[in-house]
Structure 1
């Protein structure tokens, strides 16, 4: 690695780190100023607030990683251009592709870091962040669907509840049906309510009725109360809306597989989270190339023009990502295409700007 490579790579990584250290604390202070009243009103313990902001730092930092990366490259490359350092490098016989190499090395380091964090570190932070938010900041607001819940547990087992209270671990108007392989009913269990009894590690059914099919006849069993076991967890009735964000790579793959088997209606939102994680490295490279191509040319107006352009591109990228993400979650659009299309559009833009910058 040459002196120029080390110089540019150092500026790349240091500027990116400084950008994070500057803006993440600002985000924390803004959030604290907005939410401190709710924390006090809901008696949030100090230790939980500290843990929340540790999780907040990781969670928000991961969301803004691509934007910070983009703006930091524009910032320090514009300074190189304004000091005529880039002109000197290219005038010495260094090709533009060779000049770009340390940027791509830096993008590889950042991309690998982003990928590891997204797969294994951010999910745990997301869980703590969202649990605190719904416990103290959005107290009383629902973090999942709690009425008219239908769930397919596997190929043969189905359940339904009219309402579910996750805090009390109970549900009303419970129905559990098991079918044979030929789609005939094996048995059906109904109860006015079902509750998970933590200390006994079992379910308690009130006003229990079981209808067992034997040929063309049915055997009916009724009890006022029955303590029993089921193969599902009470949390399986309806996962929290942010459940996919809280699972690491292996857990998310297994979760998506289980939800596909159950025929979950919102499977696209889970798959979208998976594809967005895998697309992070590609996003890092595309934004790096765009940022270098835009800011490596000395312009009248200097760094301000480049930063304005960078902020505009960042907002357009976020807009594309949100639009296609919403289509995938609510309109049945392919989650894979929802992730690929914005990157293809900005990849074409990166190629065009790079060719223009070379000329």
Structure 2
């Protein structure tokens, strides 16, 4: 199924994007690497669906040859008949786990980087206006806009609070720029207001070179940042963004839960596929495959709907992942319980 669908996906994507690649002069080596990463990212995303269709195809062949009837009528229990499927699903689930947690995040860096460099050239890959971050328990920063290409933020403000949650000082600047060759920050129209014993002290400079304990890129991570983190990096990244008060934290948490849900989906879809296709039908394999493709689309639809709710409407990311899997898990158990034995 992988060898059947992935090349079709590559050819469809290439036919759609070839014009943009030529217009933006994408090198052949980068295009080849993009489609290698494309294979890993898309293949991992659709792995449960490929497994589902594969089980339907294989089991329907057995049913059409009356082999399942022979197996069950010889005294083999249905649970024993299911055992090889569950063993296979376990192997696939382990592969999916390691791919989604460690291999695919690395591929996502090149995959998304190529998209924004050549296919969405000129479009921002992150939020760049009205950025607010909490650096730690005492420091808060704000910029009205940020230019990732020039590494510069406009209308910069840093507020430092003491342990009593009282403002100690406030730094303002027309802009803040990261000077890479000197590893410093350059503030233009610098102004610092400090409060000492209820007395306000004002310090101004036309330009100030200084050091801050943050990276300017951390002001606004790329929209696909969570997809590029492995298991351990993602947990740390989510904790950091939650501490900073990131407004799109649900997007990052949703990515985490979806990775954990992929192996579970392998078992759920395997059970549904076996229960549906283990019976010999008048329409043969075509009916089972049609049913399987319909179920796959419904599953993807529910997954997308609840994922969008979590990202845009504040719906719980955990529930957004659990609800589709629980619903299809119940369907799978019902079909399995009512399968002809």
- CA deviations on 1:165-217 (whole Å, 9 max, x unpaired) are 10111111111111112111111111111111111111111111111221211
Indicate the residue corresponding to 1:129 in structure 2.
111
Which position in structure 1 is the counterpart of 2:270? 288
The match for 1:343 is 325
Structure 1's unaligned 5+ residue stretches are 1-18
For the aligned residue pairs, the C-alpha RMSD in angstroms reads 0.9
Asked whether the equivalents of residues 96 and 358 of structure 1 are also in contact (C-alpha less than 8 Å), the reply is: no
Q: Which residue of 1 aligns with 2:96?
A: 114
Alignment match of 2:72 (pick from 90, 99, 110): 90
The answer as to 2:84 corresponding to 1:79 is no
Q: Classify 1:187/1:292 alpha carbon distance in 2 versus 1 (closer, same or farther; 3 Å).
A: same
Match among 224, 228, 231 for residue 249 of structure 1: 231
SS for the counterpart of 2:107 is helix
Extract structure 1 runs of 4+ deviating beyond 6 A: none
Is the Cα–Cα contact under 8 Å of residues 208 and 224 in structure 1 kept in the other structure? yes
Q: After TM superposition, give the deviation of residue 358 of structure 1 in Å.
A: 3.9
Q: SS of the residue aligned with 1:194? A: strand
Query: Secondary structure of 1:93's match?
Result: coil
Tell me by how many angstroms 1:276 deviates: 0.8
Moved more, 107-116 or 189-198: 189-198
Alignment partner of 1:149 is 2:138: no
Aligned to 2:193: 211
C-alpha distance in 2, partners of 1:308/1:82? 16
Match of 2:174 among 178, 192, 201: 192
1:85 CA drift (Å): 1.1
The residue aligned with 2:206 is: 224
Question: Structure 1 CA distance, aligned partners of 2:149 and 2:340?
Answer: 60
1:329 aligns with 311
Gap regions ≥5 residues in structure 2: none
Matched with 2:256 is 274
The whole-number CA distance in structure 1 between the counterparts of 2:288 and 2:319 is 30
Using the alignment, how far apart are the partners of 1:45 and 1:221 within structure 2? Answer: 51
Question: Is 1:163 aligned to residue 145 of structure 2?
Answer: yes
Structure 1 length as normaliser, TM-score?
Answer: 0.93
Task: Measure, in 1, the Cα distance between the counterparts of 2:128 and 2:249.
Answer: 18
1:290-326 per-residue CA deviation (whole Å, 9 max, x = no partner) reads 0000000000100111011001111111111111111
Aligned length: 341
Q: Deviations over 1:136-173 (max 9, x none)?
A: 00001111111111111122111111110101111111
Q: Does structure 1 retain, via aligned residues, the 8 Å contact 2:279–2:340?
A: no
In structure 2, what is the Cα distance between the partners aligned to 1:192 and 1:170? 10
Shifted more, 318-327 versus 111-120: the winner is 318-327
Q: Secondary structure at the match of 1:357?
A: coil
Is contact 1:158-1:176 (8 Å) kept?
Answer: yes
Q: Kindly indicate whether residue 25 of structure 2 is the aligned counterpart of residue 22 of structure 1.
A: no
**Residue equivalent to 2:217:** 235
- Structure 1 CA distance, aligned partners of 2:91 and 2:282? 32
In structure 2, C-alpha distance between the alignment counterparts of 1:299 and 1:317, rounded to whole Å: 24
SS across alignment from 2:76: coil
Normalization by structure 2: what TM-score? 0.98
Where 2:34 maps in the other structure, the secondary structure is helix
Secondary structure, counterpart of 1:125 in structure 2: helix
Name the CA distance, whole Å, in 2 between partners of 1:164 and 1:348.
48
2:37 counterpart (29, 51, 55): 55
Deviations 1:68-91 (A, max 9, x none): 111111011101110111111111
Report the Cα distance in structure 1 between the residues aligned to 2:137 and 2:246, rounded to whole angstroms: 13
